[in-house]
Amino acid sequence: MTGSSRGLTRRAALRHCRTALETADPGDAAGDARFLLLGVLGLENRDLLVEGDRPLDDGEAVALDAALARRLAGEPVARILGAWEFWGLPIRLAPETLVPRPDTEILVEAALASVSDRSAPLRCLDLGTGSGCILAALLSELPRAYGIGLDRSAAALAMARHNLAANGFGGRSAFAVGDWCDAMRGTADQTFDLVVSNPPYIVRDVIPTLHREVRMHDPLAALDGGADGLDAYRRILDGVRTGNLLAHAGVLAVEIGYDQAASVRSLAAAAGFVDRGLTRDLAGHDRVLSFGLPKGHGDPHLRIDRH
Ligand code: GLN
């Protein structure tokens, strides 16, 4: 058991949290303690520096003790706060959304790297948008772009809608409930310059071996990639291709697991996509694959009529 933070100053409360967390799991106790304190009290780093001697009021102490107890029981800080940061943007979370990973910023970077004119009115589609963090990041860098986010979960979409609006992109985004590309059926001739996705890609049998914080606190539906981890890629590649969702010079960029590049590349080739490269994450792991359409696709005179 840890003591209460009642009556402590902000600075002492930070120390109290850090000590308690270090005893339980020295991993990132200092960072966790800081994020927890700042998040629960609604403070910024500056408030700790300038007003570190200010005592917590009773309500703050109760809230901090409750949050600390949850962290000590193994819940990630982002879940306790219901909020995290992605691409420098504040993102709120629901139980139905993944905690945004720093690795997923590589997906945003890869998608942006494929854009030749960032001020163009690009059309973006985010499949399995979750909290909407990827779409928010893209729209923050593409001032005239608009984006559509699809997700199976209505609760996730409500959070995505909130996050886009809270970051100032509400007027450039729209959301629809749908299973992968299905919601786009019947929207004839709607194509996208960027199609992005961080789909569930964990092999089902591997899920029980994942780190406890992921296994217990991230939504299973956002992790489970089926028996071989590739179910979502099959759906996405097929849906984007048969639905003609990619503009002829557009790019489809997907996050992948570290050992999935070869499999996803061969699925993409079989679905008729052209390889546009692999991007690794900061740890050197394969992380993002980009695909385009074959040259000539979309040229009316080259289009083969269906019989
Ligand atoms: N990278 C995530 C993890 O390892 C997996 C997220 C996903 O399946 N898209 O927890």
Domains of the chain in start order, with CATH, are 10-81 (1.10.8.10), 95-304 (3.40.50.150)
Could you tell me if the CB of 101 is within 6 A of ligand 1? Answer: yes
- Ligand 1 centre and the CA of 223: distance in Å? 6
Query: Which ligand 1 atom is the nearest neighbour of the CA of 255?
Result: 9
Could you tell me if the CB of 223 is within 6 A of ligand 1? Answer: yes
Tell me how far apart the alpha carbons of residues 104 and 91 are, in angstroms, rounded to a whole number.
14
Q: How many CA atoms lie within 13 A of 153 on its CB side?
A: 19
pLDDT cut 90: percent of the chain above it: 89
Query: Which ligand 1 atom is the nearest neighbour of the CA of 218?
Result: 10
- CA nearest ligand 1 atom 2, residue: 223
Q: What is the mean pLDDT of the chain?
A: 94
Question: How confident is the model over 276-297, as pLDDT tens digits?
Answer: 999 999 999 999 999 999 987 6
- Ligand 1 centre and the CA of 301: distance in Å? 42
Query: What are 26-35's contacts with CB under 8 Å, separation 24+?
Result: 32/71, 32/77, 35/77, 35/81
> Cα–Cα distances in Å, from 57 out to 6, 61, 63, 295?
7, 6, 10, 65
Question: How confident is the model over 74-107, as pLDDT tens digits?
Answer: 999 999 999 999 999 999 999 999 999 999 999 9
Q: Which of 255, 256, 259, 264 to mutate to test the pocket of ligand 1 (most atoms within 8 A of CB)?
A: 255
- Ligand 1 centre and the CA of 203: distance in Å? 10
Could you tell me if the CB of 64 is within 6 A of ligand 1? Answer: no
Confidence band, pLDDT 50/70/90 cuts, at residue 185: confident
Amino acid making up residue 73: A
- Ligand 1 centre and the CA of 82: distance in Å? 18
Please count the other Cβ atoms lying within 10 Å of the Cβ belonging to residue 227.
10
Tell me how far apart the alpha carbons of residues 123 and 59 are, in angstroms, rounded to a whole number.
46
Could you tell me if the CB of 198 is within 6 A of ligand 1? Answer: yes
Confidence band, pLDDT 50/70/90 cuts, at residue 54: very high
DSSP lists the bridge partners of residue 254 as 197, 289
Q: 17 with 77: CB under 8 angstroms? A: no
Tell me: pLDDT of 156 over 80. yes
Could you tell me if the CB of 128 is within 6 A of ligand 1? Answer: no
Is-above-0.85 flag for pTM? yes
